Structure 1
Amino acid sequence: MKKLISFSRHVDRVWLEFTLSSVAHGASKTILNQKLEHLLESFIATVENRRKARNLLVSIWAIRENTKYQKFDCDALDLYLRDEQSTMSLQWGMLVARKPFFAAVARYIGRYSKLNDCFKYAQVNKRMCELFGETESTSRATRAVLKTMQELGALVKNDDGSMSIAAKVSEQDKWRVNWMLKALLLSDNQESREFHEVQQDPVWFPFQLSINESEIDTHLFEVHQQGNSLYLFLKQDVE
């Protein structure tokens, strides 16, 4: 089966924040599209490129019709509305949850950066082409994801054109961290995974996730000890 890329261009952090705020305050998809079109007119000249950006933003933050994901989506909005401040963790978590291509790029960078201080676009693109096919769509999406990561403050571009990981963000809000762990399980279509593996997955390379076993949200996960390891099992959302 051909893997879905679904990342046609980069998106700015300002656009992501605007989209999240609009959805959290009740904008329907119709209204959201109208608001985004008005916003993007100031940034993007062509109708087609505005359409691509608008569709991508809606696909990241609009609440999904599939009941499997509705509670997860609404939980993100609730976390935002607690203080109406969208830290990078919410944006990154939703990108990981909804965009497998974004998650794949993030995971590669996280693994590569454990042994290397910087990397180049060509190295990331080579790996993505191995995973998703050697096409212009893959190369374009890789550039778009890397640019989006720079916009979010996760990557910095060096003078020689290479990229490095920015200073890690410490996420200490246990409710956000629990939501991020669930995001990863949903992204990978997994029902369970070892706790420390999820917490330390390379996909979270921009973050230092502060959570211990006593802070696991039992409304989201069932917790089981298997040997020396603690496993998280996703709970089924109840309507």
Structure 2
Amino acid sequence: MSKRHEKIAFKQIVRLEWMDRTLSLVLAGYSESEIREQLDRYLSTQRQSGGEGPVRNRATYGMSLILLSCWFRKEPELDGFREALLEQANRVEQKDWLPLHWAMLAASYPYFAWVSEHVGRLFSLQDSITSGQVYERMKQSFGDKEMVARNTRYVVRTLVSWGLLEEGKGKKGQYRMPSVYQIQDSRVTELLLEGLLLSIPDERCELNTLLRHRALYGFSIDYVSPQELARLSQTRISMSQVGLTTGIVMINRLQNMDYVQD
């Protein structure tokens, strides 16, 4: 298990347009320090609720930490995955980056994927959910702590800002299932599944379970075979065949011998 899986680390809302801005700068070839400088200026006027506001004190807009760490934090186990995301982002228009951002946050901050999973589980049982219901499920794993409640709210509000949750018409904090985001590119499907695998502590899952994983509630993806998944990932994912249509898929750590598991 990587240290990524030990952290309850999601300390602010991460808006989709901020992810777009960061990825655009990475693709343009700017260095980490240059991107940090640009993001600090940009985020100083950005509201977490959306849109612009008065310039704020630098200490109040530390979002560049999460945005930069996705791409520059020293985590050799994510290097190949990051490169694949960048290659795919170069192939498509910015409007199609949302699933790539989801995969990146799931891999970099597994807590994001775990909250998403409980959102999906709740939607499998009922038509609308509340942030309190999501927190009740998260505290079963992480305890009844203010930090857990706060970080869970940040993930939920991030999903709202991305259009992966819809505001309900009832009481505040109530949400509805959004229109499902259709994934028609098998390479994007592979990256979504890889990001999800990287969020799982032992980095392995039965394929059909992975394809139906509740964390992916907001996406519609087609079936992909274990062999195709391994091929599309350029062997970053390996598989153990169980049947003709399924198998155990796992992150292939033999690809990067510099990575040492904790």
TM above 0.5: yes
CA separation of 1:211 and 1:30: change in aligned 2, threshold 3 A? same
Please say if residues 16 and 57 of structure 1, whose CA atoms lie closer than 8 Å, have aligned partners that are also in contact.
yes
- Supply the distance in 2 between the matched residues of 1:212 and 1:75 (Cα, whole angstroms): 18
* 1:38 counterpart residue number: 41
Alignment partner, residue 110 of structure 1: 120
After TM superposition, give the deviation of residue 227 of structure 1 in Å: 4.5
Output the amino acid matched with 2:59. E
Instruction: Provide the rounded CA distance (Å) in 2 between the counterparts of 1:199 and 1:49.
Output: 39
C-alpha contact (below 8 Å) 1:167/1:206 kept by paired residues: yes
Find the residue that maps to 2:179 and give its secondary structure.
coil
What SS class does the counterpart of residue 94 from structure 1 fall into?
Answer: helix
- Alignment match, 1:224: 240
Q: Distance in 1 between matches of 2:192 and 2:134?
A: 24
Q: How does 1:143-182 map to 2 (within 5 A)?
A: 143-160=153-170, 161=172, 162-182=174-194
Contact 2:197 2:250 in 1 (8 A): no
**Are 2:168 and 2:176, in contact at CA under 8 Å, matched by a contact in 1?**
yes
Match of 2:255, SS? coil
Q: Could you say which residue in structure 2 is the equivalent of 1:19?
A: 22
Aligned AA (2:60)? N
* C-alpha separation in 1, matches of 2:221 and 2:206: 15
**Equivalence for 1:7:** 10
Q: Match of 1:123?
A: 133
Q: Is the 8 A contact 2:206 2:249 kept in 1?
A: yes
1:176-206 Cα distance to aligned partner (Å, 9 max, x none):
1111111111111334321111111111010
Partner Cα separation in structure 2 for residue 238 and residue 134 of structure 1? 38
Please tell me whether the aligned partners of residues 20 and 97 of structure 2 are also in contact (alpha carbons under 8 angstroms).
no
CA 1:191 to 1:57, structure 2 compared with 1: closer, same or farther past 3 Å?
closer
Aligned residue pairs, count:
237
Q: CA RMSD of the aligned region, Å?
A: 2.1
- With normalisation by structure 2, the TM-score equals 0.83
Q: Could you tell me how far apart the structure 2 residues matched to 1:6 and 1:49 are?
A: 17
Instruction: Give the distance between the partners of 2:32 and 2:248, measured in 1 at CA.
Output: 37
Percent identity between matched residues is: 25
Cα offset for 1:145?
0.7
CA, structure 1 residues 142+75, in 2 after alignment: closer, same or farther (shift >3 Å)? same
Tell me whether 214-223 or 87-96 shows the greater mean CA deviation.
214-223
Q: Please, what TM-score do these two structures have when normalized by structure 1? A: 0.90
Distance 1:238 1:47, change over 3 A: closer
SS in 2 for 1:223: strand
Q: Provide the residue aligned with 1:72 in structure 2.
A: 81
- Number of the residue aligned with 1:233: 250
Unaligned segments of structure 2, at least 5 residues: 48-55, 258-262
Give yes or no for the alignment of 1:187 onto 2:214: no
Distance 1:95 1:56 in 2: 9
**Superposition deviation, residue 217 in structure 1:** 3.8
